[in-house]
Structure 1
């Protein structure tokens, strides 16, 4: 059956939601044929995934994950798709610390690097913050400290067998797009960064199909899968079954558009961790400070904690300037291990 779908996709035909669901079920249940799987992932990427396909894949993955059952209200995820190849530091992880320090519950879904220099799990390791690897751990963290970082492979054991194929492919795959749709904590709110305008549109439509409560999908017109500090950003607000499109600039939030990427680019997870620490201490280059404020502000807007992104960015700046964001981080790293003592 898998080979039949590969041929169909290679011929640029689209799967409906049920077909995509059945295909992913087959992929999960059968032994991995690396050549066949690589062909499927390549064909999907070349043709472009559809909202129906993403929704169907996500439904099958949901049936095979370890859920985090909780009663915390207003949880948000800041997991993006990755794959923009810009080499920037882990902006969404830094933003998660900031918004959690403001009292916004966060369940951030993430993985190690696949196509980037630093995945969210890689930078957390450098920072001395342990991710949750069981549902019980995630629940305890979410309830006691307002934030949990979910190590995606631990909650999706059925998908581990695809890791080797994904690492061998030099581009992002459909799994990057499915990741934000598959958070085992089922967050009320989501801020998702996409690496292309087409992917952003597709994700917004897939979220609508999946019945998302409220989500913001963003694409920087400079190619960033974040709210950009160097160019306008396309925003897709998914709210109560409707999608609203908008264009946002740093100036809209009272910030200045940066001239270049250089001050937010890193070469490794260690460099990313160092820059995150500088941001939380309010000592980073201005572009780095501003891009975290912008993304944290967008998350707060998404979660209805700020009336506008600008208002949210101002709250983010305040919690950093007060020192509370850094102290909040230090407590998390103290729980995770001794690394914080050197910071």
Structure 2
């Protein structure tokens, strides 16, 4: 606790953000980096953290701020061999209207030898289904550490690492949503961390305005290849009923492309979500056309990102072939 007569070092960053309409401004990338370093080190009072997060929420984070935050977080993580993971897949939103079919997309890629590192958090929003909570349905265990995730990537080409394991401070902040009543910049920042420094990263957002922010932040972070989409429910999942705009970064070059809807009509949302349907869909015990199109369509975007196919049509066909030739007894 700082003396009442001496200004706390973190007060500078709150003042920059909160000095009114004319006096406030965004943080520079360097300021954001130092602010996050203080937060992660526990050098910030609780009341300061709340004020900082909500001021950021009101003005909305810039690419420069996100890049500074992510750089600070990455410095706290263990060093990982860059060949450990091929594809970084963030999963923080949780699903409310549909099951998280994108999990099967990631497992489909893993079956083809692509090493997928998925990271996310446990439930922090009411009535949403999170990856971490349904991994047991697929007989998959979340990684208990970085070393465990590395081992899982070697043996099964897929690993799920929770935010609580690799950055407990951010995990605590993301769970402040119910206390604050609002999401915070942490929900954006965690999607960009790429903890295993994979050359390819795929991200999903809910609010379309955040697509270019993710894209430009990835550019500042020198991410080699990244694609961000407005995913179903905010997850990295293509909604087959809707047009999908994918904004990407490839070796320092920004680009975008539109993936067309796969159906001419929209499907009725299921009344309830039964996680057992995930394993049933994989095994071919049920045939939900929306689910299948979502799985294949999401896989196609990932394949296009990774240059496994040069055209959308080829990526879609490759993903379809993967799905039809999958090992139904695998899970």
Residues 237 and 244, structure 1, Cα contact 8 Å, conserved in 2: yes
Residues 229 and 258, structure 1, Cα contact 8 Å, conserved in 2: no
CA drift at 1:101: 1.4
Tell me if 1:24 matches 2:40. no
Aligned to 2:12: 4
SS at match of 1:291: helix
Aligned to 2:72: 60
Identify the match of residue 108 of structure 1 among 118, 121, 129. 118
CA drift at 1:132: 1.1
For residues 261 and 79 of structure 1, the distance between their equivalents in structure 2, rounded to whole angstroms, comes to 27
SS at match of 1:78: strand
Which sections of structure 1, spanning at least 5 residues, go unmatched? 331-343
Summarize deviations over 1:25-46 as a string: whole Å, max 9, x none: 1111125644332222222122
Tell me if 1:315 matches 2:315. no
Summarize deviations over 1:2-22 as a string: whole Å, max 9, x none: 333233323451111000001
For residues 7 and 88 of structure 1, the distance between their equivalents in structure 2, rounded to whole angstroms, comes to 42
Mapping 1:229-268, distance limit 5 Å: 229-250=240-261, 255-260=262-267, 262-263=269-270, 267=273
Aligned to 1:341: none
Residues paired across the two proteins, number: 317
Higher alpha-carbon deviation: 157-166 or 203-212: 157-166
Residues 24 and 57, structure 1, Cα contact 8 Å, conserved in 2: yes
User: What's the Cα RMSD here?
Assistant: 2.5
For residues 289 and 206 of structure 2, the distance between their equivalents in structure 1, rounded to whole angstroms, comes to 23
SS at match of 1:228: coil
CA drift at 1:154: 0.8
Q: Which has the higher helix share?
A: 1
Residues 221 and 234, structure 1, Cα contact 8 Å, conserved in 2: no
TM-score scaled by structure 1? 0.83
SS at match of 2:118: strand
Residues 119 and 162, structure 2, Cα contact 8 Å, conserved in 1: yes
Aligned to 1:214: 225
Residues 6 and 39, structure 1, Cα contact 8 Å, conserved in 2: yes
TM-score scaled by structure 2? 0.86
SS at match of 1:211: coil
CA drift at 1:223: 7.2
For residues 103 and 10 of structure 2, the distance between their equivalents in structure 1, rounded to whole angstroms, comes to 36
Aligned to 1:48: 60
CA drift at 1:79: 1.3
Higher relative contact order (CA 8 A, sep 6+): 1
The 1:198/1:13 distance shift into structure 2, 3 A limit, reads same
Aligned to 1:151: 162
Higher alpha-carbon deviation: 152-161 or 195-204: 152-161
Aligned to 2:145: 134
Mapping 1:284-299, distance limit 5 Å: 284-299=287-302
Aligned to 2:283: 281
For residues 223 and 145 of structure 2, the distance between their equivalents in structure 1, rounded to whole angstroms, comes to 24
For residues 208 and 67 of structure 2, the distance between their equivalents in structure 1, rounded to whole angstroms, comes to 18
Aligned to 1:39: 51
For residues 150 and 38 of structure 1, the distance between their equivalents in structure 2, rounded to whole angstroms, comes to 26
SS at match of 1:25: helix
Summarize deviations over 1:306-341 as a string: whole Å, max 9, x none: 2234333333333332342x333x2xxxxxxxxxxx
CA drift at 1:160: 4.2
Residues 44 and 174, structure 1, Cα contact 8 Å, conserved in 2: yes
Residues 248 and 256, structure 2, Cα contact 8 Å, conserved in 1: yes
Residues 226 and 250, structure 2, Cα contact 8 Å, conserved in 1: yes
The 1:320/1:162 distance shift into structure 2, 3 A limit, reads same
Summarize deviations over 1:240-292 as a string: whole Å, max 9, x none: 10111222212xxxx324413504x755xxx2x32322331342421111011
Which sections of structure 2, spanning at least 5 residues, go unmatched? 1-8
Q: Which has the larger radius of gyration?
A: 2
